[in-house]
A and B are shown apart, each in its own frame.
Chain A
């Protein structure tokens, strides 16, 4: 019987939640890396027991962790004992798996050393953390990392070493990128399952970008986005995209939750159109697609950019079965009152069982699950630290 494993990153560690296919009774394990923020964990589609985790701290920096046994044990891939490939002076490993250094080489044209700062001046690029890890479907050793300050890195050796795909920062608009309130993070990485060279990413507050050549060259894909909080609301870049997602069977279609507005594109980002429709508020962070219905989309409306909690204290998921515009309130089992949590951008996921399961975590430490596409909800766990990310794995 199939089962589901949820990888939950929180402000104070990682948790692994497992259940059988009924998804009613959950086993909760953790915290892993206790006390450390874990921004994101994600398993390899090629080998679900290969899981990458971003453990990060304002104090002590970035640590990449890897598990090869489904989260039972963890290691830093650049520093396993006795591994000669990553040795430094004296024959000791060097912790390369945690090393993210921006490319300033002549070979790539010394791409960008500054971006726009809050006061309008240019500011040096400074690595802070990995926001999102995206394993490549066919190769468990190949994984992308979206980082703050915004850049895309990749590892082709299972996370031992990381190299920047500097064409993104260097494509031309980088000096106009500005940090959002939460920092200038590259938070969304969407891979086209039909074309491994086509990559979509999104950055706060720059917008969405697309590469057709495996990350070597990039173009901004923000036509149709309209943002009143920037001088030119229709600018090529500067939009605060919160999250983008794709159904694997429809790689031309992407959905986006922007700072305000929910949008979609059906031409791989060349043009976007708003699909907020009857949503009670179109501010929010998460957006995701049903596993088997490419036109069924989920968002969690948040009151506003100054009040990051649900409208009227009622936590609600909204579902559209028509690809947007026509949204249905889904609240059975969710808090009806006095709920003032947020749902952060990487904190929603779906499983791939026949009856698609939907999951999301909150800044109040709850993880909610719906085993029936959003009709009914239950809290799997109530009192975790603030949830930063949720990823569902469907296991055989």
Chain B
């Protein structure tokens, strides 16, 4: 079971109270986690990855196990601790100032 934490605006959009958990087939990669997330919460399509290109949106970051995984290719396996549910996969709205 993979655990995913979403930023507050996306939790509000999806009607999620806290962390979400779901099964992801091995190998567990960023792409597969996001596929499963969007399948379960279709209103999140386009909010983490661009609708058209599928690329990570510029102000969204992926963290896990104290590492920034944002720039890893989407088909690279995630750390075992994430795949096994011991650590959450964090989807972060980047701190980028503004108002």
The interface bits of chain A over 1-45 (1 if a CB of B lies within 8 angstroms of the residue's CB, else 0) are 000000000010000000000000000000000111000000000
Complex contacts, A63 vs chain B, CB 8 Å: 13, 43, 47
Tell me, yes or no, whether B50 is within 8 Å of chain A by CB: yes
Given contacts A89-B39, A92-B40, A99-B51, contact A61 B46 (CB under 8 A): yes
B12 cross-chain contacts in A, Cβ below 8 A? 34-35
A93 at the interface (CB under 8 A from B): yes
Please give the distance in Å from B49's CB to the nearest CB on chain A: 9
Known contacts A59-B9, A100-B51, A101-B51; is A95 also within 8 Å of B39 by CB?
no
Which residue from A59, A95, A96 sits with its C-beta under 8 Å from B57?
Answer: A59
Q: Whole-angstrom distance between the alpha carbons of A93 and B44 in the complex?
A: 11
The CA-CA distance from A79 to B7 in the complex, in Å, is: 20
Give every chain A residue within 8 A of B57 (Cβ-Cβ).
Answer: 59-61
Q: Is the Cβ of B45 less than 8 Å from the Cβ of A98?
A: yes
| Residues of the B chain whose Cβ atoms lie less than 8 Å from the Cβ of A76 | 43
Given the complex, which residues of B lie within 8 Å of A11, measured CB to CB? Answer: 99
Q: In the assembled complex, which residues on chain B have CB atoms less than 8 Å from the CB atom of A88?
A: 39, 42
B34 is an interface residue with CB less than 8 A from chain A: no
Q: How many A-B residue pairs have CB under 8 A?
A: 72
Q: Is A35 touching B47 in the complex (CB atoms < 8 A)?
A: no
- The reply to whether the CB of A318 lies closer than 8 angstroms to some CB of chain B is no
- Is B98 an interface residue when CB atoms closer than 8 A count as contact? yes
Query: Which A167-204 residues have a C-beta within 8 angstroms of B?
Result: none
Assembly CA distance A34 to B44 (angstroms) = 17
* B13-47 vs A, Cβ < 8 Å mask (1 yes, 0 no): 10000000000000000000000001110111111
B77 contacts the other chain (CB 8 A): no
Q: Interface extent on A, as a size class? A: 20 to 34
| Nearest CB on A from B1, distance (A) | 18
A362 at the interface (CB under 8 A from B): no
Residues A61 and B50 in contact, CB atoms below 8 Å apart: yes
Flag if B45 contacts A94 (CB, 8 Å).
yes
Residues in A185-225 with C-beta less than 8 Å from chain B: none
Closest to B50 in A: A61
A94-B93 in contact given A57-B9, A58-B59, A61-B50 (Cβ < 8 Å)? no
The interface residues of chain B lying within 8 Å CB-to-CB of A60 are: 7, 9-10, 13, 47-48, 57, 60, 93
8 Å CB contact of B93 from A59, A102, A127: A59
Q: Does A62 contact B (CB under 8 A)?
A: yes
- Tell me the minimal C-beta distance from A57 to chain B in angstroms: 7
Q: Which residue of B lies closest to A100 (CB)?
A: B51
Q: Which residues of A contact B8 (CB under 8 A)?
A: 35
**CA A127 – CA B55 in complex, angstroms?**
13
B52 interface contact, C-beta 8 A: yes
Interface residues of B (CB under 8 A from A): 7-10, 12-13, 38-40, 42-48, 50-52, 57, 59-60, 93-94, 98-99
Given contacts A59-B60, A99-B52, list 17 more A-B pairs with CB under 8 A.
A11-B99, A59-B57, A59-B59, A59-B93, A60-B9, A60-B47, A60-B60, A60-B93, A61-B57, A63-B47, A78-B42, A92-B39, A92-B40, A92-B42, A94-B45, A96-B45, A98-B45
Complex A-B: 30 CB contacts under 8 Å: A11-B99, A34-B12, A35-B9, A35-B12, A36-B9, A58-B59, A59-B9, A59-B93, A59-B94, A60-B7, A60-B13, A60-B47, A60-B93, A61-B46, A61-B47, A61-B57, A63-B47, A79-B42, A92-B39, A94-B42, A95-B38, A95-B43, A95-B44, A95-B46, A95-B51, A98-B46, A99-B52, A100-B51, A101-B51, A127-B51
